[in-house]
Amino acid sequence: MVNNPTPCTLVIFANSVKHGQCCVAGKRLDTREWVRPVSNANGAELTYQQASARNPYGVYKVKPLQMVQMGFEQAVPLNNQPENQLINREQWIQQYNIVPAEINQFLDEPESLWGSGDRVDYQAIMRDQVAIEQSLQLVKVEQLMLYVDGQNKRRASFSYNGIGYDLAVTDPNFGHLVGNQHDLMGILCISLGEPFQGNCYKLVAAIY
């Protein structure tokens, strides 16, 4: 991705929890390209203040499906997260929202979610044995089930393109969603996380 210091409008598809702070991801309204706003070249999370936008009523943390204008210093791609963009110091501006029915216009259709399983070997990525063209996917899934496992971890099991997955969930609204699963659209925002103990884990960053 080329450096793009000019402001652009993102449709926010995730504002999930990362190290107690915020991991925001969205698609550009004009090109439908993924952008992950980060606070440094290493892909660090955003503070609540950085992940907030001004609207006519004040400044509030951005939420999924909002359209937000933001500016960037430069692209800071990582092998495992090529769409990272370093934010500048300008206040984000909230514009409008899209409605849930419009999410379908932004769906991705990869063959798989970086292969099977819940993780990708980080060294395989660094050695170019696994090419990560994009580390974010917005996909329609089947047989979605949200649950809490025996270690009190939030999980989502589902099928995508005939492949079964069982992934950790970082969507901050999980507690509400797990009790209202019959209302879900079955659309997930999946993110490939930072390296942890030799792997990049696949995370469910937002649930629709």
pLDDT computed for residue 7 by the predictor: 86
Residue 185 in domain: yes
92 plus 109 within the same structural domain: no
d(CA 23, CA 39): 10
Q: Average pLDDT over the chain, rounded to whole? A: 95
List Cβ neighbours of 189 (8 Å cut-off, separation of 6 or more).
13, 14, 25, 64, 136, 137, 138, 204, 205, 206, 207, 208
197 and 117 within one domain: yes
Confidence of residue 54 (pLDDT cuts 50, 70, 90): very high
The model's pLDDT over 188-203, given as tens digits with 9 standing for 90+, comes to: 999 999 999 999 999 9
Domain boundary (102, 131, 166) is at: 102
Residue 145 within any structural domain of the chain: yes
Q: pLDDT at residue 3 above 60?
A: no
Show the domain range for 48.
8-102
- Is pLDDT above 90 for 20? no
Look at residues 42, 69, 102 and tell me which one is the last residue of a structural domain: 102
- Decide if 82 contacts 134 (C-beta within 8 A): yes
pLDDT score of 19 = 73
126 and 78 inside one domain: no
Q: Are residues 77 and 108 in the same domain?
A: no
Q: Is residue 108 domain-shared with residue 203, that is, in the same domain?
A: yes
As a whole number of angstroms, the distance between CA 5 and CA 70 comes to 10
In 21-133, the DSSP E strands lie at 21-28, 34-38, 52-55, 58-61, 66-70, 72-75, 84-87, 92-97, 119-121
Question: Do 95 and 75 share a structural domain?
Answer: yes
**Sign, Cα dihedral of 67, 208, 52, 74:** negative
HEC profile of 175-205: HHHCCCHHHCCCEEEEEEEEEECCEEEEEEE
**Distances, alpha carbon 94 to alpha carbons 30, 70, 78, 182, in Å:** 16, 9, 28, 30
Structure confidence at residue 1 (pLDDT): 42
123 and 66, same structural domain? no
pLDDT for position 5: 56
Full-model pTM: 0.93
Q: Which of 16-25, 85-94, 156-165 has the lowest mean pLDDT?
A: 16-25
**One domain, residues 72 and 156:** no
- Mark whether 109 and 202 lie in a shared domain: yes
145 and 84 belong to one structural domain = no
What domain count does the chain have?
2
pLDDT, tens digit, 9 for 90 and up, residues 73-121: 999 999 999 999 999 999 999 999 999 999 999 999 999 999 999 999 9
Q: Dump pLDDT digits (tens) for 23-43.
A: 999 999 999 999 999 999 999
Domain CATH for 171: 2.40.50
